[in-house]
């Protein structure tokens, strides 16, 4: 039965590769041909259309909300109990892999197909969900669709966010035909489960096929623009320069060294990255006049994340005097570290136990829509190992046997939760 899911993951993995091609084995991966599927692109539309077709084939009724989040429902025997929801996202980072997000969506559809094959009658309704814009690769904010769904940002505010081409999310969704009108709130949802690749080395190193997530790291983003003065690299004397890149490089070093210091404490989980860095005008013989940087700070401890974030902001604000430049700092929404539901953790553990599949409890360093959902409903996550722990890279891979095990655990968990009162 893994064949059916394998087809979905391989076929959907074509969308966003250039040129379009399928990858079925690790040795077919090409570091130059990752998956690039930001929200609102033709590739995003193609993968959404593919998923919706599979949902309909599986007998699900599909609806789309104003943020382009997709919901697909299998009715329950009872009509007065809350839904069990499961799913993930279909957008990707620039040059990512085919499993990040897609596994959670197609794995959930496969779980429903297995229930169909068995003629299983779920007491609670079960819904598959696809969240819009989890990665933040187009509209400047991670976990976009789920943030609006849980009311962390307003729907209109979310729809007016613009991508780098200056196009609003609303217009982008309309263009790909995913600007829906379903009004969603989570009052009728009791549980949410997200199946996802671990995106780290722990399960792969330990040879354990399933992870059960207890906590998800918080994420704080800081955007900084450093403005100096572009000038001639040959004629401008060193003391007279206003070099934005030299100033920015001090911030890069600060983020790395401060996060490393924090992470060196026993049990600490702090990480800090300058992942986005644009230099203008970017010519070898021109002193850089402007640098735009995107900084990502994470921790499972709110206090530690806030501490590093505030120190980084202070460091950015303190460089103008030294380098005779100007800075502009903005902080797009941040996501708090999130403990997941003990009840769902226990249910996933029971499911793995019933199936005889080894599993371990762990934390997630990556952000997930589950951390938004956890604010409103009992939420859990199932992790599956990735080869060498690599993700957000064209070299991301998960073995089919591990995928099969994780989908069995997901299916069993859905059964267990859907029967609970
Ligand atoms: O973790 C992330 O950066 C993203 O939300 N997956
Ligand atoms: Mn990701
Ligand atoms: Mn993901």
Residue with tokens 């070299």: 395
Give the ligand 1 atom nearest the CA of 365: 1
Question: Cα of 207 to ligand 2 centre, how many Å?
Answer: 22
Give the ligand 1 atom nearest the CA of 134: 5
Q: What CATH fold (topology level) applies to the domain 2-217+337-418?
A: Aminopeptidase (3.40.630)
Q: Is 391 in the pocket of ligand 1 (CB under 6 A)?
A: no
Contact predicate 173/162, CB 8 Å: no
Q: What CATH fold (topology level) applies to the domain 218-335?
A: Alpha-Beta Plaits (3.30.70)
Per-residue pLDDT at 295: 98
How far apart CA 312 and CA 263 sit, in angstroms, is 15
Task: Please classify residue 233 by burial: count the beta carbons closer than 10 Å to its beta carbon, then call 0-12 exposed, 13-18 middle and 19+ buried.
Answer: middle
Question: Cα of 100 to ligand 2 centre, how many Å?
Answer: 5
How far apart CA 370 and CA 381 sit, in angstroms, is 7
What are the residue ranges of CATH 3.40.630.10 in the chain? 2-217+337-418
Question: Cα of 137 to ligand 2 centre, how many Å?
Answer: 10
Per-residue pLDDT at 306: 97
- Supply the angle between the helices 42-57 and 102-118 in degrees, to the nearest 10: 10
Contact predicate 226/248, CB 8 Å: yes
Q: Is 190 in the pocket of ligand 1 (CB under 6 A)?
A: no
* Displacement of CA 37 from its chain's centroid (Å): 12
What are the residue ranges of CATH 3.30.70.360 in the chain? 218-335
Contacts of 288 (CB under 8 A, 6+ apart): 228, 230, 243, 244, 245, 246, 279, 280, 281, 282
Residues, beta carbon < 5 Å, ion ligand 3: 100-101
Q: Is 337 in the pocket of ligand 1 (CB under 6 A)?
A: no
Tens place of pLDDT for every residue, the chain, 421 residues?
Answer: 689 999 999 999 999 999 999 999 999 999 999 999 999 999 999 999 999 999 999 999 999 999 999 999 999 999 889 999 999 999 999 999 999 999 999 999 999 999 999 999 999 999 999 999 999 999 999 999 999 999 999 999 999 999 999 999 999 999 999 999 999 999 999 999 999 999 999 999 999 999 999 999 999 999 999 999 999 999 999 999 999 999 999 999 999 999 999 999 999 999 999 999 999 999 999 999 999 999 999 999 999 999 999 999 999 999 988 899 999 999 987 899 999 999 999 999 999 999 999 999 999 999 999 999 999 999 999 999 999 999 999 999 999 999 999 999 999 999 999 998 6
User: What is the number of other CB atoms lying within 10 angstroms of the CB of residue 121?
Assistant: 11
Question: Cα of 368 to ligand 3 centre, how many Å?
Answer: 6
């Amino acid at each position: 039965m893994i064949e059916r899911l394998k087809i979905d993951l391989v076929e959907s993995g074509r969308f966003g590769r250039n040129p379009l091609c399928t990858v079925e084995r690790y040795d077919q991966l090409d570091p130059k041909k990752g998956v690039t599927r930001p929200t609102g692109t033709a590739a995003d539309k193609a993968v959404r259309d593919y998923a919706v077709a599979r949902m309909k084939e599986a007998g699900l009724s599909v609806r789309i909300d104003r943020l382009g989040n997709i919901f697909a429902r299998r009715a329950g025997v009872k009509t007065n109990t809350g839904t069990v929801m499961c799913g993930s996202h279909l957008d990707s980072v620039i040059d990512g892999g085919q499993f990040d997000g897609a596994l959670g969506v197609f794995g959930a559809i496969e779980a429903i197909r297995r229930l169909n094959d068995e003629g299983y009658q779920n007491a609670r309704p079960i819904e598959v969900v696809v969240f819009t814009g989890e990665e933040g690769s187009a509209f400047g904010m991670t976990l976009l669709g789920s943030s609006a769904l849980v009311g962390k940002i307003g729907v209109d505010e979310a729809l007016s966010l613009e991508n780098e081409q200056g196009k609003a999310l609303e217009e982008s969704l309309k263009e790909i035909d995913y600007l829906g009108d379903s009004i969603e709130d989570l009052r009728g949802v009791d549980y949410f489960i997200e199946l996802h690749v671990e995106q780290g080395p722990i399960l792969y190193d330990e040879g354990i096929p399933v992870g059960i997530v207890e906590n998800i790291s918080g994420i704080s983003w800081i955007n900084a623009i450093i403005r100096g003065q572009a000038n001639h690299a040959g004629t401008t004397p060193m003391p007279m320069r206003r070099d934005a890149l030299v100033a920015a490089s001090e911030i890069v070093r600060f983020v790395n060294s401060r996060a490393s210091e924090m992470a060196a404490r026993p049990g600490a989980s702090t990480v800090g990255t300058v992942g986005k860095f644009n230099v203008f005008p970017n010519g070898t013989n021109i002193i850089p006049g402007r640098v735009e940087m995107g900084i990502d700070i994470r921790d499972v401890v709110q206090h530690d994340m806030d501490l590093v974030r505030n120190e980084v902001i202070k460091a950015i604000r303190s460089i103008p005097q030294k380098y005779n430049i100007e800075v502009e700092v903005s902080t797009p929404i941040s996501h708090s570290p999130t403990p997941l539901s003990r009840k769902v953790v226990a249910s996933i553990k029971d499911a793995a136990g019933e199936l005889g599949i080894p599993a371990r409890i762990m934390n997630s360093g990556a952000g997930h829509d589950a951390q938004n959902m956890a604010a409103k409903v009992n939420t859990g996550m199932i992790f599956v190992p990735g080869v060498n722990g690599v993700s957000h890279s064209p070299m991301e891979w998960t073995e089919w046997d591990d995928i099969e095990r994780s989908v069995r655990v997901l299916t069993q968990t859905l059964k267990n939760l859907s029967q609970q009162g």
